[in-house]
Structures are given as C-alpha cells and as structure tokens.
C-alpha cells in the first residue's frame, strides 16, 4: 500500500531529478530608505511610496503586469521576473530567471535594479547596499500586507517584525537527487566562513549593534528556532546523513500555514508535525481573508503543502523543490552589484566543486557544537572568529573556501574574476561591515546614507 507520506516523498525528490545544469539564480533583497534631503532621512519607506516606485516602473516598462499595489511581474523566455515588497514595506525583492552563466545573471541584475534605482531617486529614495535597515525599529506598521506574513505574525508573534528590516543576497543553485544532500550540507557548513566574508549589517536602530552581521542573529533570538516537542533546529546549520534522514528531520516540523490557489490558510490548530498531518490524512485550516464566504476547510496533504513548509525552515541553506535548487540564505546584501555577483560566484563555485569541499566540510562538521559556536562568533567578529578544535582561524578557512570555489568556477568555464572582491577583503582583513562602521562613526546621518547607497557597478 502506498501511503500519503511515501507518495509525497517520491513526488518531492522527483523535483530534483535531471536537474544537473548547475544554473544559478538570484533572489536579492534591498532596503529602501528616504534620502538625505527628506525630513525622514534614513527611515524605511512607506507602502504608499513603494507603490509609487512600482507604479512608475510599470509605466516606463509596459511589459510588467501589476499583480497588486506592491508587486510587478514579467516574463523573460518563459520564466518569471518578480519585483516587489517582501516582508517589509521598504524591503524590495528582485527575483529573476536562473541562468547558465554568471555573466547572464549580472546583466539581469544591473538591468532590473538599475531601473528601480533611477525611479526611486526621482522620489528622493535611496537603495542601500546594506544587510539591515539602519534606523527603523521593528514594528507592525513596517509589514507589507501579504497574507503569508500575516499568518506568520499570528503564529510567531511580534518577532516577525524584525524580518522587515533584513536584506539578503539569496543564491539558488541547481541540484540533482544524487548531489542534494552533499550540496545542502556543504552550503550549510560553509555558511560560517561565508557569513564571515560577506558580513554587512552592523548598524540597526541607529547604533552599532556589536555584531558585524546583526541580521544573522534575528532567527536565533526569536521563538521559532526549535520544534516544541523535540528541539530540532529550525534555524542555523543543519547537516544530514542521507535523503531519509533529511526527510524525517524536515517533516517533523509542525506546519502553521499553507496555500490553496490564491488563498493562504492557517492550520487550526497546527498538527504535532507535518509527518502526523500525512499520517492523519487531513487537518482543519482557517482561510485568511475569508474569500468566497468561507472561513474554514478540511484539507489533505499535497506536495504544495510540503513546499510551503520549506519556506518556514530558516537554515542557512535550504532546499527549494519548486525550482529544484538549494538556496543559500546567509549572505547579507552587499554594497555593490559586483560584490553581490562575487557572493553568487562563491556559492556557484562551491556547489560545482562539492568534491573539492568535502575535506573542509568534514573537518568543520566533525564537532557540531563547535560549529554552532563558530557561527555565533563569526556573526559578531567576522574574519577574526575561530573554530574550536581546528588549527585554523576563520581567515585561513575562508582562504581555503575561496580556492575551492575558484577551482569550481574554472572547471565550469566561469570567470574566476568574479571572486576578486572577496579575495581583496580577505587580503585586507576588512569586511563591508567594518567599512560601514567607520562610515557611521565618522559622519553625519546624511553623509552616512550617501556612503551606504548601493553602487550600481
């Protein structure tokens, strides 16, 4: 007899079959703030002003469809481009089709963010090259009116407000069923030196936070880190033995939202775990917004429910079965387009050369407690952090990681020059976070904002 769980497990891993092209995709978040001449200089922009930017963008490029007041879509070669708010009203996210080469991604990135920047600055609004909103506090009015996040707010509470302030360079890489686990493990374990070399969020609430990558602390501080029954980590670094171990670990998390068509729904109440939902075969849900006059339904588990569950797991790298990828989530937004591309090149190079990364990943993951401690240390101190039980400091580990990625890029025919900004950081021992701190300490708010503005090259 084929159980619901066996059926969904088969469907889930089939999403990764035949996906060996190693394309790379970008989902990049940008903090938008009022510019120096504005009375609210440095504060997150309102939903109204985000709508003005997107409306003006749609008027200059008629190929966009306006999905709602805060999201645009267009198609390129049959693939969707999305530009709009994420969790926060001043948190612009741009996602575009995965490409075979980094050069193609660079063209897209410059095209889309360049168009947004031109429109935004006509409204005296800046796009910052920073992983955090520098002045705005976490609060309910920051939230974009998206049902997914309304559901998260109801389930997780006010801790969701902090997510309105964060901005990341999220990189997707193709994986197959065969390299699924090793790629996921590699990008999770190496997230520690990746955070170290890409740290770029030291300022929040108008002050030095004491962390070089403050945005990475958001998930750890809040109340959804662990499964309430068995303390399985829903955040941080996760390492798996094989596909079965991953599946059992992943489906032990309780679901709290799902989707049918356009409707987001809350489990009412959440099942003990997604696994128990599959065993029971059905659950009650509450429809958010009560479309079609309905407020509650009984639903049975589908692959779509598994994919929604993926989006409520916040490991440093997580699978995205909708695209057949593993998504590296840990790099903060970088100060410039070239540096965003450098991070993308790093992730692609590592994913292409997982065989070359095996030794370093094995060494770092041998002691899970030490790895977790190193992650906390690197969030605070960047390249000066250490990993207990190894003879190497973080800068040495980072250098080894860059060489692995460089070989991966070379072997896949990519331009290794994309990694130059990261090598320069390593050589100088200075991350974007340390540059931002110097700018913050030695300048007025207006000069700080001008210096923090995203560089379009």
Other CB atoms within a 10 A radius of the CB of residue 242 amount to 9
Residue 292 has pLDDT above 70, yes or no: no
Distance CA 200, CA 445 (A): 18
pLDDT band for position 231 (cuts 50, 70, 90):
very low
Q: Among 129-143, 144-158, 238-252, 376-390, whose mean pLDDT is lowest? A: 144-158
Residue 339 φ then ψ, to 5°: -80, -30
pLDDT at 223: 47
Q: What is the pLDDT of residue 307?
A: 95
Query: Rounded to two decimals, what is the model's pTM?
Result: 0.94
Q: Which of 326, 28, 22, 19 is nearest to 189 (CA)?
A: 326
Instruction: Label residue 260 by pLDDT band (50, 70, 90).
Output: confident
User: What's the confidence (pLDDT) of residue 222?
Assistant: 62
Give pLDDT tens digits for 357-395: 999 999 999 888 889 899 999 999 999 998 887 767 899
How confident is the model at residue 67, as a pLDDT?
Answer: 82
Please say whether the structural domain 4-253+313-452 has been given the CATH code 3.30.590.20: yes
340 compared with 284, residue with greater pLDDT? 340
pLDDT for residue 68 is more than 80: no
Which pLDDT score, from 0 to 100, does residue 227 have?
47
For 26-64, the pLDDT digits (tens) are 999 999 999 999 999 999 999 999 999 999 999 999 899
Question: Predicted confidence band at 265 (pLDDT cuts at 50, 70, 90)?
Answer: confident
Q: Decide which of 145 and 142 is more confident.
A: 142
Cβ partners under 8 Å of residue 207, min gap 6: none
- Where residue 340 falls among pLDDT bands split at 50, 70, 90? very high
How close are the terminal C-alpha atoms of the chain, in Å? 57
Q: Where are the domains of the chain?
A: 4-253+313-452
């Amino acid at each position: 007899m084929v159980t619901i769980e066996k059926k969904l497990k088969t469907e889930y891993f089939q999403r990764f079959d035949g996906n060996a092209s190693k394309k790379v995709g970008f989902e990049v978040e940008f903090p938008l703030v009022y510019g120096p001449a504005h009375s609210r200089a440095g504060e997150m922009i309102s939903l109204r002003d985000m709508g003005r930017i997107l409306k003006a963008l749609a008027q200059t490029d008629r190929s966009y469809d306006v999905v709602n007041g805060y999201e645009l879509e267009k198609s390129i070669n049959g693939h969707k481009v999305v530009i709009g708010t994420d969790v926060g009203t001043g948190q612009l996210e741009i996602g575009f089709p995965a490409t075979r080469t980094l050069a193609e991604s660079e063209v897209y990135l410059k095209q889309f963010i360049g168009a947004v920047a031109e429109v935004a600055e006509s409204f005296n609004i800046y796009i910052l090259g920073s992983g955090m909103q520098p002045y705005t506090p976490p609060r309910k009015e920051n939230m974009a009116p998206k049902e997914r996040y309304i559901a998260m707010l109801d389930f997780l509470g006010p801790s969701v407000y902090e997510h309105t302030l964060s901005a990341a360079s999220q990189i997707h890489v193709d994986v197959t069923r065969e390299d699924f686990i090793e790629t996921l493990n590699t990008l999770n374990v190496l997230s520690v030196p990746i955070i170290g070399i890409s740290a770029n969020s030291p300022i929040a609430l108008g002050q030095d936070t004491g962390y070089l990558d403050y945005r990475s602390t958001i998930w750890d501080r809040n109340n959804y880190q662990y499964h309430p029954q068995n303390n399985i980590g829903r955040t941080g670094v996760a390492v798996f033995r094989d596909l079965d171990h991953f599946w059992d670990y992943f489906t032990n998390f309780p679901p709290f939202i799902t989707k049918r068509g356009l409707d987001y729904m809350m489990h009412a109440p959440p099942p003990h775990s997604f696994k128990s939902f599959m065993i029971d075969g059905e659950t009650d849900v509450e429809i958010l917004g009560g479309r079609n006059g309905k407020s509650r339904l009984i639903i049975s588990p589908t692959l779509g429910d598994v994919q929604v569950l993926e989006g409520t797991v916040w490991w440093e790298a997580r699978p995205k079965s909708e695209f057949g990828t593993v998504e590296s989530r840990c790099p903060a937004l970088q100060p410039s387009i070239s540096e965003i591309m450098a991070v993308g090149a790093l992730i692609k190079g590592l994913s292409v050369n997982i065989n070359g990364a095996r030794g370093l990943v094995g060494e770092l993951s041998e002691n899970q407690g030490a790895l977790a401690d190193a992650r906390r240390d690197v969030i605070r101190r960047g390249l000066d952090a250490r990993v207990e039980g190894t003879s190497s400091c973080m800068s040495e580990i980072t250098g080894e990681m860059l060489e692995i990625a460089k070989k991966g890029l070379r072997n896949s025919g990519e331009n290794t020059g994309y990694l130059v900004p990261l090598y320069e950081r390593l050589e100088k021992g200075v991350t974007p976070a340390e540059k931002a701190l110097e700018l913050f300490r030695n300048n007025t708010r207006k000069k700080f904002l001008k210096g923090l503005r995203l560089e379009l090259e």
